[in-house]
Amino acid sequence: MSISMSIAHLRAAYAAGTIDPAAVMADIRARAAQYQDRNIWIHLLSEAEQAPWLAALAQKDPASHPLWGIPFAIKDNIDLAGIPTTAGCPEFAYTPQASAQVVQQLIDAGAIPVGKTNLDQFATGLNGTRSPYGPGRNAFDPAYISGGSSAGSAVSVALGLASFSLGTDTAGSGRVPACFNNLIGLKPSRGLLSSTGLVSACRSLDCISIFALTADDANTVLASAEGFDARDGYSRENPFHNRSRQYGLREGMLKVGVIPADQLRFFGDEGYEQAYAATLEALHGLGLEFVEIDYTAFNEAALLLYEGPWVAERYIACQPLIDEQPEAIHPVVRAIVAPGGEPRATELFKAQYRLEALKQQCLAQLAQVDCLLTPTAGRLFTVDELLAEPILYNSQLGYYTNFMNLLDMTAVAVPTAFTEAGLPFGITLVGHCFSDRALLSIANRIQQGLGLPLGVPGATGEAGPGSALSRSRVSDPEWIDVLVCGAHLEGLPLNWQLTERGAVLKEKTRTAPSYRMYALAGGPPLRPGLVLDEQAGQAIDVEVWSVPACAFGSFVAGIPAPLGIGKVRLADGRQVSGFICEPCGLDGAEEITAYGGWRAWLSSRQA
């Protein structure tokens, strides 16, 4: 049976009646046996264990349940009711009575759990080899690592054993496995997904993450998984600009930050270095403009995660075992976590002071671009390499990832190329917190532009994104373009109303040849009136300013009658919000259309 595993294709197959969820789950269980060498599962659900969730679908309308019948995998440090949670440590195992909040929301939306997946023990690692259930192995070549700690979660999706999966991400565990297995990996904003029912590695930093075949699928899952949870002290409300309806296909030129060549690290992997260069060339052709940023502060922040006092949080997560059964903990994990009981409170505060200073530097650079772009990882190691050098090589895997949660940033890993050896490579898009939909919209643009296969093509049934991705065009939801034509122009008396709200000049241009301009009666300040006249109008010089969406309301509220904000057509046919004038405001006004713009008219008065 050949099944297309993307959410859109699977829902279409259900709607057409060509397959049903029970058959999909049976097929997954059968195919899972072919991949036992990948060490994907800690607990693959049986037919009997899945039966209650499948039966519940009969009471759910597919039209109102966006994940109806969609199979998903769960990292085994996230609770699923009635199924043991091990966190990769048999001695730690317990059986929860309730599912994690995120898992329950996905089930409520119609999704069907497939099983609990293998991980680096206690989510400590970026490689997938630190597990008593066997090292996680790459979906494309089992000689290579899967990436971790969310090892099995990524491989299950890449091999078509789930349409999406849940991982977690403290240091990069939702991104590195995505890169190594040709997937989208969303590390959401901290607090966007509830952590109730999660065995934390670092309570203050952890995120439940999402692996998916496409940016569309990641957005669909996020829409069902997100939500404020009063039981979770780190939960945060999602602002309007980051809601699901803001997702689409990002349009226009994009200014993207990249790391200078002398700060890039590929750790001897020529295939990845070449894939990164090819990626930048391809993305430049898709309308991305690259701006170099200094990576020094990002890297210094990254080093604080393991070399600073935050390792104490990992110690807290498994302290009972460290105190009572230290031999039950994987030796590499124990070597990392055990010293976490030693840092003093003074060390934590000193590190926090330094982190805040670094955060200011990093956010200042991020504010100059639409997003930062990095390689997701510098090298893809073999399993044998990681087993022989577990600390150093794992540290190298985190070079581009470890800073993210410490700096309260959001990220999406995107597959972009294959090496000559046929191994996946990808980049990560980085933004400030609550830029999830903006980043996913850019990822959508990249996936559509590059057209790579999804996961392992023969296993997922997906040769490429095709028409499955959203083509609804979106711009940056945190900024609103406003056309100004008079006293708000750069350097003129009311321009402060824009600049003091953080607005930036986007372009100087002209309207379509369909407008008449008047100097209104009264003042100071002198004010213009722009009026649409398709028959006798002409082009008028204007400026377009980008205003922070959070400041747009106060700006509009201060506009006096007879002026207001409406839609104005530019010379290239675009329509933007801009100043217009009510007809009643033209009483006593002087028509100045012939001057072609406000500045030219002002100059004529001074002559």
Give catalytic residue positions.
75, 149, 173
At 389 the three-state DSSP class reads coil
Distance from C-alpha of 60 to C-alpha of 68, rounded to nearest angstrom: 8
Amino acid at 25: M
**Under 8 Å between Cβ of 462 and 4:** yes
Per the omega criterion (within 30 degrees of 0), is the bond before 132 cis?
no
Q: Which of 174, 77, 70 is nearest to 113 (CA)?
A: 70
Question: Residues, the chain, total?
Answer: 607
Q: Which of 175, 171, 166 is nearest to 197 (CA)?
A: 166
The C-alpha atoms of residue 285 and residue 287 are separated, in whole angstroms, by 6
Among 341, 359, 336, 349, which residue's Cα sits nearest to residue 406?
Answer: 359
Task: Enter the tokens of residue 105.
Answer: 């929301």
User: Distance between CA 319 and CA 31 in Å, rounded?
Assistant: 38
Three-class secondary structure of residue 518 per DSSP:
strand
Q: Are the beta carbons of 188 and 436 closer than 8 angstroms?
A: yes
Contact 490, 503 (CB under 8 A): no
CA distance 312 to 505: 46
Tokens standing for residue 578: 């801009």
**How many degrees, rounded to 5, is the angle at CA 256 between CA 363 and CA 153?**
85
Neighbours of 458 (CB within 10 A): 12
Residue 38: count other Cβ atoms within 10 Å of its Cβ.
25
Strand partners, 289: 255
Residue 393 is encoded by which pair of tokens? 């090589």
Burial of 388: CB neighbours in 10 Å, binned 0-12, 13-18, 19+ = exposed
Q: In what order do the strands lie in the sheet with 112-117?
A: 41-44, 112-117, 71-75, 164-169, 207-212, 184-187, 409-418, 424-432, 371-375, 254-258, 288-292
Residue by residue, DSSP assigns 392-403 as HHHHHHTTTTTT
Phi-psi region of 598 (alpha: psi -120 to 50; beta: other; left: phi over 0): alpha
- In 10 A of CB 119, how many CB atoms? 35
Burial class (CB in 10 A: 0-12, 13-18, 19+), 208: buried
Beta bridge partners of residue 277, listed in sequence order? none
Burial 60-83 (b: 16+ CB within 10 A, else e): eeeeebbbbbbbbbbbbbbbbbeb
The pairing of beta strand 371-375 with beta strand 424-432: antiparallel
CA 497 – CA 504 distance, rounded (Å): 11
Helix intervals (H) in 33-78: 47-56
Which amino acid is present at 564? G
